[in-house]
Chain A
Amino acid sequence: MISLQNITKHYPGGIHALNGVSIDIDDGDIFGIIGISGAGKSTLVRCVNLLERPTSGRVIVDGQDVTDLTGAALRAYRRRVAMIFQGFGLLLQKTALDNVCFPFLASKGRITDDDRAKAKELLARVGLADKANSYPSQLSGGQQQRVAIARALACDPEYILCDEATSALDPASTQLILDLLHQINKETGTTILVITHSMDVVERICNNVTVLVHGRVVEQGPVERIFADPQDETTKALLGRVSWNA
């Protein structure tokens, strides 16, 4: 379980990206965090794997306070929490296979034949068995994101963080990626944290959702309830029930 406790994040220049966010994410859940651009979603998810250090507050994972981890302990923790980015984050000079193998390199300093076999299985799993030797520039956006998902799965993560994973993709690729994430969640029980600005994405795969506005949680609960009975104006606007300037 990931427990975010009263997380604040201030950037130099008086920017308060997060103002006391508390969220509990149960194991096995697909949990959505939705908000408009600038709401602090990326900052929040980057606090989970500590690419960003919270200014205050605690990140507790399975009862362990990880907020102040450094060095090898931090790197070991990051291997339990994979991340998928809007811009894919692939290494452009490496083949799809080498990208998927990168987490092995990161954890052990070398890539064994077993690792390569596993990476090939993962590429097959995301439907890219024939693209192992392709470079990212030879793949479509949807294919690149699938490589990124295969890479995320390489270390058998307990959690997968998706920061706008489908925002750069066309509807067909979006569907494919969301189905894939759903499938992974069902088969392996991996907890998935989905950051998005799209209620559509939330509706399609999330069980629970949190609405973030100006770095604050304004609404939180099961997706069915939020969709059936939104309370906050931003939630209503995100749902298209009221116009934005209402």
Chain B
Amino acid sequence: MPNLSEFFANYGNLLMQGTIDTLAMVFISSGFAYALGLIVGVVLYVTSPTGHHPMPLFNAVLGWVVNMTRSIPFIILLVALMPFTRALVHTTMGVVGVMPPLVVSATPFVARMIEQSLSEVPHDSIEAAEACGASIPRIVWSALLPEALPSIVRGVSITLISVLGYTAIAGAVGAGGLGDIAIRYGYYRYEDEVMVVTVILLIVLVQIIQSTCDIIASHIDHRKRMHMSHE
């Protein structure tokens, strides 16, 4: 076991860059995925047969597209989307090259989670908003989404952690980031220390993401008395 300062002198910059790359991939891709997935999730909810604006056929088709995309394993999606990715961002390598498949893969995932969060909102409250004469966009924006927000934030941690997992897979095909480092050093060069440290970094990232989302979610959740900690 080489001493720690020597290790960080050798690999510190590499690991730092890997962490930054990973965070960039995770947060930027998830940001896009939420922008798109929020819309798809709301549309799925509103157009469902029991929704505010039932469109059964459209809803079934959209649901089918979402399920199709979700059923393709990420590594296959990544390869299959390469022409599209190249056309969009002019590369299939590195942090930027992996973002389009990450977004495509995470969006339907996000959509389903948003739909789920919305459907947990008590029907009563939403019906009361409707009875006040609110339009559908108003109901969605001012009643449904705010009511679902704590649940949506809890979903964010699940999404971020899943996307973090995808970035590690993408590392195998040259995406950069911690996954790439773990594979290059751990698998090809047998430098176990580097791999161990990347694993530790990944675990720490997951913990930070999880705890942060939990804290935010319980802070903004007014369904329980505020001085009580959430379950």
Contacts of A214 in B (CB 8 A): none
User: Is A91 a contact partner of B147 (Cβ separation < 8 A)?
Assistant: yes
The answer to whether A90 has its CB under 8 Å from any CB of chain B is yes
Contact A107 to B127, CB < 8 A, known contacts A92-B223, A93-B147, A137-B225: no
For window 34-80 of B, CB contacts with A under 8 Å fall at none
The answer to whether B81 has its CB under 8 Å from any CB of chain A is no
Contact A89 to B225, CB < 8 A, known contacts A94-B146, A107-B133, A155-B133: no
| Cross-chain contact of B133 among A88, A103, A137, A148 (Cβ < 8 A) | A103
Contacts of A227 in B (CB 8 A): none
| Cross-chain contact of B132 among A88, A94, A102, A109 (Cβ < 8 A) | A102
The answer to whether B211 has its CB under 8 Å from any CB of chain A is no
User: Is A137 a contact partner of B222 (Cβ separation < 8 A)?
Assistant: yes
State the Cβ distance, B177 to closest chain A Cβ, in Å: 36
State the Cβ distance, B134 to closest chain A Cβ, in Å: 4
User: Is A75 a contact partner of B135 (Cβ separation < 8 A)?
Assistant: yes
State the Cβ distance, A231 to closest chain B Cβ, in Å: 34
Interface of B is mostly: helix
The segment from A76-84, A172-180, A183-191, A236-244 found at the interface with B is A76-84
How distant is the Cα of A92 from the Cα of B124 in the complex, in angstroms? Answer: 11
- Residue-by-residue, is A114-140 near B (CB-CB < 8 Å gives 1, otherwise 0)? 000000000000000000000111100
The answer to whether A87 has its CB under 8 Å from any CB of chain B is yes
- Residue-by-residue, is B210-231 near A (CB-CB < 8 Å gives 1, otherwise 0)? 0000000000111111100000
How distant is the Cα of A82 from the Cα of B131 in the complex, in angstroms? Answer: 7
| Cross-chain contact of A106 among B122, B125, B132, B150 (Cβ < 8 A) | B132
User: Is B124 a contact partner of A106 (Cβ separation < 8 A)?
Assistant: no
| Cross-chain contact of A87 among B124, B131, B146, B226 (Cβ < 8 A) | B124
The answer to whether B206 has its CB under 8 Å from any CB of chain A is no
User: Is B223 a contact partner of A78 (Cβ separation < 8 A)?
Assistant: no
Contacts of B129 in A (CB 8 A): 89, 91, 102, 106
| Cross-chain contact of B222 among A81, A109, A135 (Cβ < 8 A) | A135
The answer to whether A9 has its CB under 8 Å from any CB of chain B is no
Contact A91 to B134, CB < 8 A, known contacts A85-B128, A135-B222, A138-B225: no
Contacts of A143 in B (CB 8 A): none
| Cross-chain contact of B124 among A79, A85, A94, A155 (Cβ < 8 A) | A85
Q: How many residues of A are in contact with the other chain, CB < 8 A?
A: 33
User: Is A91 a contact partner of B143 (Cβ separation < 8 A)?
Assistant: yes
Contact A49 to B124, CB < 8 A, known contacts A105-B138, A106-B138: no
The answer to whether A51 has its CB under 8 Å from any CB of chain B is yes
Name B residues whose Cβ lies closer than 8 Å to a Cβ of A.
Answer: 122, 124-125, 127-135, 138, 142-143, 146-147, 149-150, 220-226
Q: Ordered nearest first, which 9 A-B pairs have the shortest CB separation?
A: A89-B128, A106-B134, A78-B133, A75-B133, A135-B222, A79-B133, A83-B131, A87-B124, A89-B124
| Cross-chain contact of A92 among B142, B222, B225 (Cβ < 8 A) | B222
What is the chain B residue whose CB lies nearest that of A95?
A: B222
Contact A155 to B132, CB < 8 A, known contacts A89-B127, A93-B149, A102-B142: yes
State the Cβ distance, A163 to closest chain B Cβ, in Å: 10
State the Cβ distance, A5 to closest chain B Cβ, in Å: 22
User: Is A91 a contact partner of B125 (Cβ separation < 8 A)?
Assistant: yes
Contacts of A75 in B (CB 8 A): 133-135
How distant is the Cα of A90 from the Cα of B146 in the complex, in angstroms? Answer: 13
Contacts of B223 in A (CB 8 A): 92-93, 135, 137
Contacts of A148 in B (CB 8 A): 128
How distant is the Cα of A130 from the Cα of B134 in the complex, in angstroms? Answer: 27
The answer to whether A216 has its CB under 8 Å from any CB of chain B is no
- Residue-by-residue, is A200-236 near B (CB-CB < 8 Å gives 1, otherwise 0)? 0000000000000000000000000000000000000
What is the chain B residue whose CB lies nearest that of A84?
A: B128
Could you name 22 residue pairs across A and B whose Cβ atoms are closer than 8 Å?
Answer: A82-B131, A82-B132, A83-B131, A85-B127, A87-B124, A88-B124, A88-B128, A89-B124, A90-B125, A93-B147, A93-B223, A94-B222, A102-B129, A102-B134, A103-B132, A106-B142, A107-B133, A135-B222, A135-B226, A151-B128, A155-B132, A155-B133
